[in-house]
Amino acid sequence: HSAVCWPAAELEMAGGGGGGGGDALKESSQVNAAVWVAVYGGGIIVMLGLYGVIQERIMSEPYGDGDFFRVSVFMVLCNRLVAIVFSLIMILSRKEEMVNKAPLWKYLAISFSNVAATWCQYEALKYVSFPVQMLGKSFKMMPVMMWGIIISGKKYEMKDWMIAGGVTGGVTQFLLSGEIKSKHADQGSSVYGLLLLLAFLACDGFTSTFQEKLFKEHKTSKYNQMLYVNSGSAVVSAFTLFASGSAGTAIGFCFKHPDFVVHAGSLSGAAVAGQFFIYSLVKEHGALVLACTMNVRQVCSILNSYIMYVHPISFLQLLGLCMVFAALFYKSYDGWKNPKSKANARPSDAAVPVAMELGRANSTKVDAENQGPQE
């Protein structure tokens, strides 16, 4: 069923399917639900689209006279600190317990893979274009499925593997049939960028799968898990920043380029706003509606990047894009058409990986669905 029909169904059950008055209430409820889906969905698309634009600006465009920002771990730390503040506000407002629900070492394991994945994501933008980074994340389906088999003993249907194969094939065609390097990167550096994306996929696949396992085994609330994982990630990234001697460089860059501070603050602000809309949409309309919204958001973000930063694209790359999005939208359609898949999904749980990734708002689509393979 479509999520916008749920409130109407509930009204019909409550009113016994009454006459004209009941029909009017049902129609009003459907319209109201549709309006809020549009508001929340539009908020996600706009805020995460803005996040992508600012992220590409920070990591791939020069400041001042050809001065590039190179301390990726500093951005990881900033985003984790914002995530901690956000989770604390939500815990206090909802009057949840602050004590950890799972062993600290499990949170720390996720924190290490979380920091590694996010660092690889930021670093990759130095060498490959933003559309390549966005599409590369679609490769996440295969690693997440493999981690799910290894860690949780999951089983997948043939159609799941076919969807994953379609996405993987489309991304492969895109990477092999045209220009993929970042605008200001050297021609040969795109190989290094692709290696960073592969490392991101491996770390992020582990992070998503272990997060889901942790939530199910220890019944942690999404904000509690968000607080402890991001606290661990903040410690890891801060230690890395100071141990590598890059703290002074990052702080000096802030003073030298005030517009960078504005961009970094806007990046975190867009992430927080995106999380608000994501939580609202998942809570009221479920993970499937969020997944569909994220598919649209991914298309919009890639098109926006091509327009704003004038990335070249070949006809074969365009076909690869169409193949990827056809597979992703079919997966969403299959989830809508198959009530069993929807019944097995847990919308409240589906937000967990999403919530924990304020620093990785671009990959929230992937973590929104816990039914079947994660994209």
Q: pLDDT digit string (tens) for 316-367?
A: 888 988 888 888 888 877 877 775 544 344 433 333 334 434 434 333 333 4
Contact between 207 and 114 (Cβ < 8 Å): yes
Q: Which of 158-167, 211-220, 247-256, 266-275 has the lowest mean pLDDT?
A: 211-220
Q: For residue 58, what pLDDT is reported?
A: 93
Q: For residue 187, what pLDDT is reported?
A: 59
Match 């903040």 to its residue by tokens.
234
Within its chain, how far is the Cα of 7 from the centroid?
A: 28
Q: Is the pLDDT of residue 250 over 50?
A: yes
Please give the full DSSP string across 186-223, using - where no structure is assigned: -GGGHHHHHHHHHHHHHHHHHHHHHHHHHHHHH---HH
Q: Is the pLDDT of residue 371 over 90?
A: no
Contact between 127 and 182 (Cβ < 8 Å): yes
Match 């927080």 to its residue by tokens.
272
pTM: 0.71
Long-range contacts of 344-350 (CB under 8 A, 24+ apart): 344/371, 345/286, 345/287, 345/288, 345/369, 345/370, 345/371, 346/287, 346/370, 347/282, 347/283, 347/286, 347/287, 348/222, 348/282, 348/283, 349/212, 349/215, 349/216, 349/222, 350/282, 350/286, 350/287, 350/290
Q: Which of 4-8, 34-38, 99-103, 226-230 has the lowest mean pLDDT?
A: 4-8
Contact between 208 and 125 (Cβ < 8 Å): no
Nearest to 241 by CA among 58, 77, 68: 77
Which phi and psi (to 5°) does residue 67 adopt? -95, 115
| CA triple 147-149-154, angle to 5 deg | 125
Strand partners, 181: 128
